[in-house]
Amino acid sequence: MTPTRPDTKVADVDPHGQSDLDRVSEPEYAETEQPPAARARMTPKSPDTNTGAHTGLSVRLEQLRAFYGAAEQVKGIDLDFHANEVTAIIGPSGCGKSTMIRCINRMHEEIPGARAEGRVLLDDADLYGSSVDVVAVRRAIGMVFQKPNPFPTMSIFDNVAAGLRLSGRRGGDLHAKVETALRGASLWDEVSDRLDEPGAGLSGGQQQRLCIARSLAVEPEVILMDEPCSALDPVATLKIEELIAELKSTVTIVIVTHNMQQAARVADRTAFMLDGKLVEVGPTQEIFTKPDDPRTEEYVTGKFG
């Protein structure tokens, strides 16, 4: 397939006209050298100042390639994640879904020998620009991992506060922020009377919601979820899915999942990946009912993968 194909598709199905807006604003940055990189530092911080009106930001991938040593795992992806929407990434194991989303918050490069090429734009700011601080990128783009991994030495309270403390944002009422984050993750009612107990003592589903609360506490604009329910039972999974639906009013969510029903339940848009390439992206309903590509149809109907 040609690399231009997903681009045109994106423009076609974009309900908000977001990408058109982006294109209009692009010439402004062409005039001055620095702004996109400089904004990457500024954007994560500006929404924090007005705590009430917190909202998600759009993310755009342009010809994103990711490598492990010489092996190319993500082979040139163009993809838009719309602000305050849930985008699901589906595809068979090893197709590069996780690698791709790890490039968005620059976690991919933490693996020895791994590197990424191309552009990742957070609300037009190139996160791979030369003056970008990766730490600032990760404050703006949170991540929830496959296995719930609360910090074992910390209490429930400290786990949620950890994000604020570790990223050097001690200001304000810590207790209020922790409560807000726990409420945001629908965990407050279950743990409010035992905030001092170790986070590792919770059930798997509660631990995963604790991890979501932990990433919510730093008020990111985007949350990446890498198969967040694969280690959880159906009841815990349902709670996380309900949570995702609530969260999208304040953040943009990208969720990698192997569970097609989950993608259908939670995602506004779904992207199908195969062998490191984007096959197709569109409104979830369309991807599951009348996909353009025969490979997508085969995958979502369970004929392979």
Partner 1 sequence: MSTPTAADERLARFAVSPARRRKDAIARRTILGATIVALIPLVLIIYYLLSKGLGAWNANFFTTDPTGNTFFKNSSIGGIKSAILGTIEMVALASAIAVPIGVGVAVWLVEYGKTGWFAQAVRFFVDVLTGVPSIVFGLFIFIVLVVGTGSSFAGYKGSLALSLLMLPVVIRSAEVILLLVPAGLRESALALGAPRWKVIFSIVLPTALPGMVTGVLLAVARAAGETAPLLFTAASTKKTSFNLGGFMNSLPVQIYGDVTSPTTAVVNRAWGAALTLVTLILLLNLIARLISRRSRLA
**Which one among 74, 114, 143, 202 touches partner 1, defined by CB under 8 A?**
143
Rg, C-alpha atoms of the chain: 19
Q: Are strands 222-226 and 125-126 parallel, antiparallel or unpaired?
A: unpaired
**Which one among 16, 23, 115, 147 touches partner 1, defined by CB under 8 A?**
147
**Which one among 74, 114, 162, 229 touches partner 1, defined by CB under 8 A?**
162
- Calculate helix-pair angle for 4-13, 18-31, nearest 10 degrees: 120
101/48 Cα distance (integer angstroms)? 24
Stretch that binds partner 1, among 132-140, 181-189, 241-249, 269-277 (CB under 8 A): 132-140
The DSSP line for 194-238 is: -TTSBGGGS-HHHHHHHHHHHHHHT--SEEEEESTTTTS-HHHHH
Of the pair 6, 142, the CB lying nearest partner 1 is at 142
Residue 138 engages partner 1 in binding (rule: CB under 8 A): yes
Q: Are strands 269-274 and 86-90 parallel, antiparallel or unpaired?
A: parallel
Residue 153 engages partner 1 in binding (rule: CB under 8 A): yes
Residue 145 engages partner 1 in binding (rule: CB under 8 A): yes
202/190 Cα distance (integer angstroms)? 10
157/215 Cα distance (integer angstroms)? 13
Of the pair 64, 141, the CB lying nearest partner 1 is at 141
Measure the CA angle with vertex 87, ends 84 and 92; round to 5°.
Answer: 165
CB of 125 to partner 1, least distance (A): 16
- Give the number of residues in contact with partner 1, rule: CB under 8 A: 29
Q: In the window 93-122, what residues touch partner 1 (CB under 8 A)? A: 105, 107, 110, 112
Of the pair 210, 300, the CB lying nearest partner 1 is at 210
Site residues for partner 1 per CB under 8 A: 105, 107, 110, 112, 135-140, 142-143, 145, 147, 149, 151-153, 162-163, 165-168, 198, 211, 214-215, 218
